Structure 1
Amino acid sequence: MALSEDHKPDLPGEQARIEEAGLKVVHETYTEESEGETAGKTSSIAKVQLSEMNVLGMSRSFGDFEYKKSDIVSAAESQAVICVPDVHVLQRVPDRDEYLVLACDGIWDVQSNKDVSEFIRSKNGENGNNLAATGEALLQECIHSDDNLSLILVSFQEPEPNVDTLLTPEISKLRLGAEEDEEGDLALSPGLAAAKTLNFASPEKDSKS
């Protein structure tokens, strides 16, 4: 589910502001070079044109001050490119929400919301819930983009419990488990037997003893 609308220069409200500030919106096309079903696919990207050599693929940003110096308009929020954000407040749905993806336009120029969602779900399963590896794989998938790539990937899924993190420091140093004795019966390993002799009294109880 898209949580925001990309600030593309050809959105009606964005384009109107850009043109009122004296600049114009142009479209550049590129051809998909990767292999597979999308190979050879042609896409168009809207950009703010400052000059023949200077274009910007977004209508809101930090910096890019050369796009914010129009003499036609005076207010900062009326410039061709502004840094005013859209703020949306949404209610979390724990049983539904899986991931949060924060990415720059270099990714969204070549991938749809659905494509990214399906890729992360599939690749993260292959990677054993390794978000770093999944994020790196997504960046590689978008490497043919003509823009820079940046990504923050957040998982809302509960991680599998790590037994080692549930043990006290004393027990984690011991070899826990069960071993078969000579008669084939399960017996406590030396580590577990030793663990049973440890004093687990809390500091509060110790202070009263």
Structure 2
Amino acid sequence: MRKNERVLFRSKNDNGGVVSLGRVGGVLALSRAFGDFQFKKNNFVYHKSIPQEQQVSVEPDVIVHEIDYNKDEFLVLACDGIWDVYSNRNLVQFVRYHLALNIKFDEIVRKLLDRGISCADSNTGAGFDNMTVMLVALNKPNESHEYWYSRIKNRLEREKRIV
């Protein structure tokens, strides 16, 4: 759950949804979910109700972003278990570091998951949730995957020389 959502959620939700330690009911670390019926009124799967009546909603938070191929390199799709152990910045740095070493996405994902699991902390609970992550290359139209890798690697090498 993003910081700005926590305040909105706390102030708008009168359905028993108390956010503590950044979690709904002190348990659930997200505000959107298809399942998690214990956080929804009328626990019936087929019961229709409006999202605003629920502690947790299936209504997505949508952001439209125009891809800029001079800046945008890849997209990270990940569940809350990943974000429990990585900040946005750390995850992007991790991926870019491995791309600079010419490591392909499948191996980077394996390394991300291994590192995430190794961060398991019984005090905070981080690293014990399920972890799913997918990396998507933001190829230019008609750009091969191989060319995308070389373009990104060249960009990272130029940035390294500048720093």
Q: TM-score, normalised by structure 2?
A: 0.69
What SS does the corresponding residue of 2:10 show, helix, strand or coil? helix
Please point out which of 129, 133, 146 is paired with 1:147. Answer: 129
Distance 2:73 2:60 in 1: 25
CA distance in 2, matches of 1:80, 1:96: 37
Pick the structure with more helix per residue: 2
What residue number does 1:24 align with? Answer: 18
Q: What do residues 26-56 of structure 1 show as CA deviations (whole Å, max 9, x unaligned)?
A: 22xxxxxxxxxxxxxxxxxx22228xxxx22
Residue matched to 1:47: 23
C-alpha displacement at 1:7, in angstroms?
A: 4.7
**2:78 aligned with 1:103:** yes
Q: Which has the higher contact order (CA 8 A, sep 6+)?
A: 2
Q: Which has the higher strand share?
A: 1
Answer whether contact 1:48 1:58 (CA < 8 A) is retained: yes
* Counterpart code for 1:120: V
Structure label with greater radius of gyration: 1
Q: Residue 51 of structure 2 corresponds to which residue in structure 1?
A: 76
1:95 aligns to what SS in structure 2? coil
1:67 aligns with 2:39: yes
CA distance, structure 2, for counterparts of residue 156 and residue 9 of structure 1? 28
In the superposition, relative to structure 1, how do residues 24 and 9 fare at CA in structure 2: closer, same or farther (>3 Å)? farther
Residues 1:131 and 2:105 aligned together: yes
Paired AA for residue 136 in structure 2: V
CA distance in 2, matches of 1:68, 1:9: 22
**1:47 alignment partner AA:** R
Correspondence for 1:12? 7
Shift of 1:25: 2.0
Q: Report the secondary structure of 1:21's partner residue.
A: coil
Unaligned runs of 5+ in 2: 43-48, 121-126, 148-163
1:109 alignment partner, SS class: helix
* Identical aligned residues as a percent: 36
Task: Answer whether contact 1:9 1:15 (CA < 8 A) is retained.
Answer: no
Tell me the C-alpha RMSD between the 2 structures: 2.5
CA distance in 2, matches of 1:140, 1:122: 16
For 2:69 and 2:51, the matched residues in 1 are separated by 39
Tell me the TM-score normalized by structure 1.
0.55
Aligned length: 130
Tell me if the contact between 1:17 and 1:79 (Cα under 8 Å) persists in the aligned partners. no
Report if aligned partners of 1:8, 1:14 keep a CA contact under 8 Å in 2: no
Q: Structure 1 unaligned runs (5+)?
A: 1-5, 28-45, 162-209
